[in-house]
Chain A
Amino acid sequence: MSAPDPAYELDVELSVNGEARRARVEARRSLAELLRDDLGLTGTHLGCEHGVCGSCTVLLDGEPVRSCLTLAVQATGRAVTTVEGLAVGDDLHPVQQGCLECHSFQCGFCTPGVLVTAAALLDEVPDPDEATIREALSGNLCRCTGYESIVEGVLRAAELRREA
């Protein structure tokens, strides 16, 4: 089976927050840019574009990935969850509710990446201790909070999940 020719522009078809979406993009376009600019989902933020700050974190098939280090074309056929996909209608996801109750954030720029990472953490480890939470969030930089309020928010989210 021969390979197709390399192309500068390609079609991408993927699922985003449960909805089938498509776009035609340059090969160099990142998943972050696809989400923000082609699909209008600006919740995912760009803080460094070289894979360190974590503001761009989304879930790819349920796992946190840096959408700035994922090409849009690599996401074809996959399922992406962004911060916009955490709430169900008006019902906040437990991480959103927990962080609301605990005043977890200030300027909000790191927030989507943190929420998505925390949501995935709680799916895998429903009752994490503080060290586990900090480790899981160690790839998400926040400049405003000093992290403690975020940790509290995730602990509260774990409680809310248990109560649900």
Chain B
Amino acid sequence: MKPPPFAYVAPDTVEGVVGALVDAGEDAKILAGGQSLLPLLALRLGRPSVLVDMGRVPGLDTVRLDGDALVLGALTTHARLGRDPEVAGPMPLLAEVAPLVAHAAVRNRGTLGGSLAHNDPAAEWPAVALLLGASVTAVGPAGSRTIAAGDLFESYLTTALAPDEVLTEVRVPGVPPRTGDAFDEVSRRHGDFALVGAGARVTLDAAGVVVAAAVVFIGVDGTAVLDEQPGLDLAGRAPTPEALDEVARAAADRLDPHDDLHATAAYRRRLAATLACRTLVTAAGRAAGEARP
């Protein structure tokens, strides 16, 4: 199971990476952690003529605060997201989700930027990016631009990134007051791609009534699905278990999952409802001030 032949280049600047992409034409692929790309190449499911390794560009793995937004370099590994207090402090959801990504050896190499650019329908980070209203910086030959998560993820393994653009940074806005979030998934085995995953975010007002709520799903479509209808359904209501359950079921009913080797559409929809409810409950609790473990 050997990859087809390709050429390799490892520029040491972002401009160099972009230049290499431009030179190689549509046939190039960016190599970040390689944990998604290299298995595809081993299975000969892709045959890029050139791999442009962005891993030698310094400064793309920094973690910093910009105001109350958390700014993460594209090369921040899943492992770092899971254990760096600079991440867990401002954005605890990232630290909670990181251990769900594959296994430790993969987390040590795989990157946030790589995961977002690859956009596997069962990957966690695209969903978390949607839920947290994140945006990314993409640099191309014409310069850099900001892409909101809602505009980034288009379809199965497809994003709004152009073939000559590289994702350099992810910006996660600060968590608003009285806002809680949660993410959970069900997989066949620990560390597998999720069969279904769900995340929820809930914002309450001072009286404990919902002012905003959203859920996001993975494993149910070609790309992660953000659903903000729960916010409308719950507006002005107390986040009781019954209300959240009802909203979760309604959200699951709006999904259109598919059958495959690992699960039927019916099972995915059912898990989606269960997980949406669980995460809404947890998120609402956290919004009300319950401590995270």
The answer on direct contact between A and B (beta carbons under 8 Å) is yes
Contacts from A to B (Cβ < 8 Å): 1-8, 10, 26-28, 30, 48-51, 54, 57, 60, 63-66, 68-71, 73-74, 117, 135-136, 138-139
Given the interface contacts A50-B39, A138-B190, does A6 sit within 8 Å of B20 by beta carbon? Answer: yes
Q: Are B1 and A3 in contact (CB under 8 A)?
A: no
List the B side residues contacting A66 at CB < 8 Å. Answer: 35, 105-106, 109
Q: Are A6 and B16 in contact (CB under 8 A)?
A: no
Given contact pairs A28-B3, A50-B1, enumerate 15 new A-B contacts (beta carbons under 8 Å). Answer: A1-B12, A3-B19, A4-B11, A5-B9, A6-B23, A7-B9, A27-B5, A27-B6, A27-B8, A51-B35, A60-B109, A65-B105, A70-B38, A71-B51, A136-B104
Q: Are B103 and A54 in contact (CB under 8 A)?
A: yes
Contacts from B to A (Cβ < 8 Å): 1-13, 16-17, 19-20, 23-24, 31, 34-35, 38-39, 41-43, 50-53, 55, 79, 102-106, 108-109, 189-191
- Whole-angstrom distance between the alpha carbons of A4 and B106 in the complex? 29
Q: Are A69 and B191 in contact (CB under 8 A)?
A: no
Q: Are B106 and A139 in contact (CB under 8 A)?
A: yes
Given the interface contacts A3-B20, A74-B55, A138-B191, does A28 sit within 8 Å of B108 by beta carbon? Answer: no
Q: Are B103 and A69 in contact (CB under 8 A)?
A: no
Across the A-B interface, give the 8 residue pairs with the lowest CB-CB distance, nearest first: A139-B103, A3-B11, A6-B7, A27-B8, A3-B16, A6-B9, A49-B1, A50-B39
- Whole-angstrom distance between the alpha carbons of A132 and B5 in the complex? 40
Q: Are A2 and B19 in contact (CB under 8 A)?
A: yes
Q: Are A27 and B106 in contact (CB under 8 A)?
A: no
Partner of A60 from the list B17, B19, B108 (CB cut-off 8 Å) is B108
- Whole-angstrom distance between the alpha carbons of A49 and B32 in the complex? 18
Partner of A69 from the list B7, B35, B189 (CB cut-off 8 Å) is B35
List the B side residues contacting A8 at CB < 8 Å. Answer: 5-8
Distance of B78 from chain A, by nearest CB (Å): 12
- Whole-angstrom distance between the alpha carbons of A10 and B34 in the complex? 18
> Residue of A at shortest CB range from B13?
A1
- Whole-angstrom distance between the alpha carbons of A150 and B191 in the complex? 19
Distance of B10 from chain A, by nearest CB (Å): 7
- Whole-angstrom distance between the alpha carbons of A33 and B104 in the complex? 21
Distance of B133 from chain A, by nearest CB (Å): 31
Given the interface contacts A6-B8, A27-B8, does A50 sit within 8 Å of B104 by beta carbon? Answer: no
Q: Are B19 and A63 in contact (CB under 8 A)?
A: no
> Residue of B at shortest CB range from A113?
B105
List the A side residues contacting B55 at CB < 8 Å. Answer: 74
- Whole-angstrom distance between the alpha carbons of A5 and B191 in the complex? 38
> Residue of B at shortest CB range from A63?
B108
7 contacts between A and B (CB under 8 A): A2-B19, A6-B20, A66-B105, A71-B31, A71-B38, A139-B104, A139-B191
- Whole-angstrom distance between the alpha carbons of A27 and B6 in the complex? 7
Q: Are B16 and A2 in contact (CB under 8 A)?
A: yes
Q: Are B4 and A28 in contact (CB under 8 A)?
A: yes
